[in-house]
Chains A and B, each alone.
Chain A
Amino acid sequence: MKLTLNQLTLRFSDVTAVDHLSCTVNDGEFVSLLGPSGCGKSSTLFMLAGLYQPTEGELFFDDTKVNTVEPEHREIGMVFQNYALYPHMSVRKNIMFPLKMKKVSRKEANARAVEIAELVKIESLLERKPAQLSGGQQQRVAIARALVKHPKLLLLDEPLSNLDARLRINMRAEIKRIQRQVGITTIFVTHDQEEALSISDRILLMNQGRFQQFDHPQDVYLHPTNRFVAEFLGNPPINLLPVNFSEGTARLVQSDKQANSYLGVRPEHLAVVNDGANALRGRSESIESVGRDHVLTVAIQNQKVRILIDADQPIKAGDMVYVRPKPDRAYLFDNEGNTITAQWNGGLTDD
């Protein structure tokens, strides 16, 4: 099912949770809704579900406007952060519940519950109560219950946030597998960038209720449309240097006051080089190992810059080094945080 949001807005008494959000999600697509806490992800999802009424704007499923359609008539399956399983019912009863409400015959409901339980691999747990299941298993039950009605849209609100790190990665793959197998359009809410980058066809980035960027994971990472997106993605985070940009050359400045723009370069797009052409000179301060990566911190004037380096690079703390960004992987942002599209030829100086 195709999904169209047109200037969708949700206001509570004193906050605007979602602010004129527009986008189109294609049939069968897996879209992550990503953003910091409180940016309106859940609110957006709840509007899609019909649990919240939009204050303004329109919402279309395929070509039907659904603003006022009741949740149960929207053909949606939803999984909540705390799973929201019915604690007094067995797994089987939980999965059958939506069908029971639709007055599907017991026999058929049971057959469909078993079928879906096999899909999410919980067929051996059908007689248990939710309290007797692990977090990951409860998760699967919640997905089964959401899918058993054969909905046209699957909504997941931070479904992995209650799981431990390893299980999270497993379930992530499982969710992706199930989604592929069923071919259902899916909106997946998360505030974990890694999760979003690994699982989605496209990522919708939000901040303070507003649309930021909607693109393929590689594109939001490599071609951020603004400073917020650039800063939000990436670990260790992107380096931002205050510069004065004119005539194709960026000149490093001492303070934010003197800067007319910012140069953003991710740690992996900076290289330590031998010559000073289009490079910045600084003193190597420390080298940290984070798992496989080695992160070199360099002090350039009063700025600190982090660089991802190879383990065999012979750099010691205290060395003077030159640092050069890859020109096509460096971004210029103006003081408002918007990307400057003006041509930058890579010219860079620090004096």
Chain B
Amino acid sequence: MRRGAFSKGFIYLLLIAGGILMLLPFVWMISTSLKAPNQVMTLPPIWLPHPIEWSNYLHAWHTAPFARYLFNSIFVAALSTLGVLLTTILAAYAFSQINFYGRDVVFSILLGTMMVPGEILLIPNFVTLVKLGWIDHYEALTVPWMASVFAIFLLRQFFLSIPKELSYAAKMDGCSDFKYLWLIMVPISKPALITIALLQVIGSWNSFLWPLIVTNSMTMRTMPVGLMAFSSEAGTEYNLLMVAATMVILPMIILFIILQKYIIEGVTRAGIKG
């Protein structure tokens, strides 16, 4: 028993050390974002800035159109997430409940596309968007992300675990297939749907390469792209750079704190992706 307590203590010690190691960069980022320029590069490093320069935030906010970037990021994340939820629900329903000819073959092919690395699709997708005239429009930022094979797979598995009797019961109760999907299956699948939505929001928020490629004008930039642009503009003003970085990360941290339970559940459920 004592030995158990000892090894447990040791494990916790390791975990705490790991946790601190992971947190340090974030702490450093926030601390730097609140420093006066002359405190940024001192040796030994200053961990707690004094005085705290809240004005850095105001300054950075006005130096680049962060309000616009923020709006774009939120708008794109929300739209693509709604899109993904809609297409996923319909596709998962079809692949799990409807017996159509060639269903399993189509589904296998769909799963197969998951093995194609995203980078390979970059150029063909870009060409398609050019032809559609969508470059530098919101369509380019959202529409290509409105379907996710992984999400369909996840939800299909969830739908398959719903007992068939439930659909029979609904049918006896006079519930059409369409109503059954929205009134019964979707509410039951809430945990899976939250997982899908979260993965999508996080993915969309963090995506950098794609928005960089398909947008040109400043007004279409999302936060990560804006951050890069800002880093070349702000040059060596590290405190302002850290302000911008904090602004990019903060919404995700808040989201994480609120929805921690679902995210952990989701990443575990997702298993192969994270």
Contacts and interface: CB of A to CB of B under 8 A. Distances in A.
Contacts of B202: none
A238 B123 CA distance: 78
A259 B236 CA distance: 106
B168 A101 contact: no
A78 B173 CA distance: 9
A87 interface: yes
Contacts of A46: 168
Most chain A CB within 10 A, of B172, B179, B190, is at B172
Nearest to A148: B173
A10 to B, nearest CB: 16
A283 to B, nearest CB: 53
Interface string B176-216: 00010000100110100000000000000000000000000
Contacts of B163: 82, 84
A84 B166 contact: yes
A124 to B, nearest CB: 24
B159 to A, nearest CB: 14
A102 interface: yes
Interface stretch (A21-29, A31-39, A69-77, A264-272): A69-77
Contacts of A80: 165, 168-169
A246 B172 CA distance: 56
Interface string A144-161: 011001000000000000
Interface string A54-76: 00000000000000000110001
B271 interface: no
Measured as residues with beta carbon below 8 angstroms from the partner, the interface class of chain A is 20 to 34
B174 A78 contact: no
Nearest to B190: A88
B8 interface: no
Contacts of B184: 86, 88
Nearest to A46: B168
A90 interface: no
Given A72-B173, A98-B173, A101-B175, A84 B187 contact: no
Contact of A101 (B179, B187, B190): B179
Nearest to A97: B173
Contact of A71 (B166, B172, B187, B190): B172
Contacts of A86: 166, 169-170, 184, 188
A106 to B, nearest CB: 15
B165 A82 contact: yes
Interface residues of B, number: 16
A76 B187 contact: no
B171 interface: yes
B174 A98 contact: yes
A122 B31 CA distance: 60
B60 to A, nearest CB: 45
B165 A81 contact: yes
Contact of B173 (A51, A81, A87, A101): A101
Contacts of B165: 80-82, 84
A240 interface: no
Contacts of A97: 173, 175
Interface string A38-54: 00000000100101000
A78 B187 contact: no
B169 A72 contact: no
Contact of A72 (B166, B174, B188, B190): B174
Interface in B60-116: none
Contact of A51 (B166, B168, B174, B188): B168
A49 B173 CA distance: 11
B172 A77 contact: yes
A160 to B, nearest CB: 16
Contacts of A77: 172
B184 to A, nearest CB: 6
Interface of B: 163, 165-166, 168-175, 179, 184, 187-188, 190
20 contacts: A49-B168, A72-B172, A72-B173, A72-B175, A76-B172, A78-B168, A80-B169, A81-B165, A84-B165, A85-B169, A86-B166, A88-B187, A88-B190, A97-B173, A98-B173, A101-B173, A101-B174, A102-B174, A146-B172, A149-B173
Given A80-B169, A97-B175, 19 more contacts: A46-B168, A49-B172, A51-B171, A51-B172, A71-B172, A72-B171, A76-B172, A78-B168, A78-B169, A78-B172, A80-B168, A82-B165, A84-B165, A86-B169, A86-B188, A87-B188, A88-B187, A98-B173, A146-B172
